[in-house]
Amino acid sequence: MTSYLIGLVGTGIGPSLSPALHEREADELGLRYLYRRLDLDVLRLPIGEVLAAARTAGFDGLNVTHPVKQQVLPYLDEVAPDAAALGAVNTVVFREGVATGHNTDATGFARNLIQGLPDAEMDTVVLLGAGGAGAAVAHALLSLGAGRLIVHDVDSARAGTLVSALLRRFGDDRALPGSLDDIRVADGLVHATPTGMAAYPGSPVPAESLRPGMWVADIVYRPLETTLLKQARERGCRTLHGGGMVVFQAADSFRLFTGAEPDADRMLRHFEALEGKPSHVR
């Protein structure tokens, strides 16, 4: 039996469903697969040292999450073209002594949006968050045909850096920095910051900014019912939680780690069994 040792690196990862999703799918495929949490809050080590230790310990791969999707880049031997374009990595594969960075957040978000809100209007979309996850979401939205993407981040310099990268890749008029006020005229809003997670409760958006007819997507999935999504539904918005994204990015990471083809629909059913709720909620 082929065996794999995989880890998840980040902060606040205790509630993550990634171990259960990966290990269950491996069982279905007849693979021995151990998925371990490497919590930076517990280890109190910088990402470079954790990466080096995982390589030495014989890990086959790592998923990388908040807040080190961008910080991990200098410690990799290679970066796949898509991840390099995003400037963020959420999957590291160790093979023959080489650490290669990939990004499955963009494909995971895109597939979740297509399945969860297939008819979403995207003439103008506001993105909150320009970190590693936000970069992936931004590229996914523009690749899916968003006409104009307005990026807001509490760190205006970070928002500007992301917008510059988007303009280089997608054209001069597709992205611009903005503010929370832009939500009032947007077709849709995507939230890509840690706010709303169990460890970071609350909403980044004034409820009065949300209006009926717009759609709101959140990449947070623990909890599925974030304050933002609750506010959005109460004000008549269509909503999409982050459950589908985490499943689809997990499936893409699983494929990179093992070379085996995961059954994403089966993984969605497993997610629903773990959560007791549908993987897509509108």
Asked whether the predicted pLDDT for residue 84 surpasses 70, the reply is yes
- CA-CA distance, 264 to 267, in Å (whole number)? 5
In degrees and rounded to multiples of 5, residue 216 shows phi and psi of -135, 125
What's the Rg (C-alpha) of the chain? 18
E-strand spans in 21-83? 32-39, 61-64, 78-79
Asked whether the predicted pLDDT for residue 282 surpasses 70, the reply is no
Averaged confidence pLDDT in the chain: 95
230 is catalytic: no
> What's the pTM value of the predicted model, to 2 decimals?
0.94
Q: Which two tokens stand for residue 219?
A: 């990449």
Query: pLDDT-based confidence at 200, cuts 50/70/90?
Result: confident
Residues 123-145 have a mean pLDDT of 97
Asked whether the predicted pLDDT for residue 59 surpasses 50, the reply is yes
Q: 22, 24, 66, 69: which one is catalytic?
A: 69
Query: Which amino acid belongs to residue 107?
Result: T
Q: Render pLDDT for 149-180 as a digit per residue (tens, 0 to 9).
A: 999 999 999 999 999 999 999 998 999 999 99
Which residues lie closer than 8 Å to 141 by C-beta, 6 or more apart? 113, 122, 125, 127, 149, 190
| Residue 94 C-beta-side C-alpha neighbours within 13 Å | 19
Beta-bridged to residue 33, according to DSSP, are 4
- CA-CA distance, 62 to 5, in Å (whole number)? 9
Q: Which two tokens stand for residue 140?
A: 């996914």
Residues 111-127 have a mean pLDDT of 97
